[in-house]
Amino acid sequence: MNTKTTLPISEARTKIFKIVNEIQKTGSYYTITEKGRPKAVIMSAEEFESWQETLEAQKMFPDLEKDIKQVHKDVKSGAYKNYPTLEEILKEEGFLVADKKRKYVSISSQTKRKKAVKKIK
C-alpha cells in the first residue's frame, strides 16, 4: 500500500473533498483503512467504469493473449486467409454493410470550400 494514498477512515472523513479532487487524476486512488486494515478503495467513477469494462472483456475473451499470439502466427504463415472478413462478421451479427460500389464519401460544403481554397493557393 502506498502510504501517501492510504488513510484511516476517520482522516478520510475530514478530507473527503480533497480526496475526490485528487482521484480525478487518472490512475489515482485512495485506500481507506479501519484499525490499520484496508477496508475500501476510492477511485474516480471514470476509472471504475474502465476497470469494469476491462473485467467484462476478460470474461468475454479469457484466452485473449493466446488468441493474439495465434493470429500473429497465422499472419506469418499465411493461414489468416481463412479468417472471415469484417463485412462477413458484421453481416453475421446483423449489421447493415454499406454498398462498396460508392467511390466517395460526401463531405460538407464548408470542407469542400477549404480544399478548393488550398488548391487555388
**Whole-angstrom Cα distance, residue 64 to residue 82?**
19
Cell 454499406 identifies what position?
A: 98
Decide if 47 contacts 29 (C-beta within 8 A).
Answer: yes
Q: Which letter, b or e, does each residue of 44-68 get, where b requires 16 or more Cβ atoms within 10 Å of its Cβ?
A: beebeeeeeeeeeeeeeeeeeeeee
**Whole-angstrom Cα distance, residue 54 to residue 51?**
5
pLDDT one digit per residue (tens) for the chain, 121 residues: 666 789 999 999 999 999 999 999 878 999 999 999 999 999 999 999 999 999 999 999 999 999 999 989 998 998 888 888 888 888 888 888 776 665 555 555 555 555 544 555 4
**Whole-angstrom Cα distance, residue 56 to residue 58?**
5
Residue type, 24: Q
Rg (CA), the chain: 26
Task: Delineate the domains of the chain, giving CATH numbers in brackets.
Answer: 3-48 (3.40.1620.10), 62-97 (no CATH)
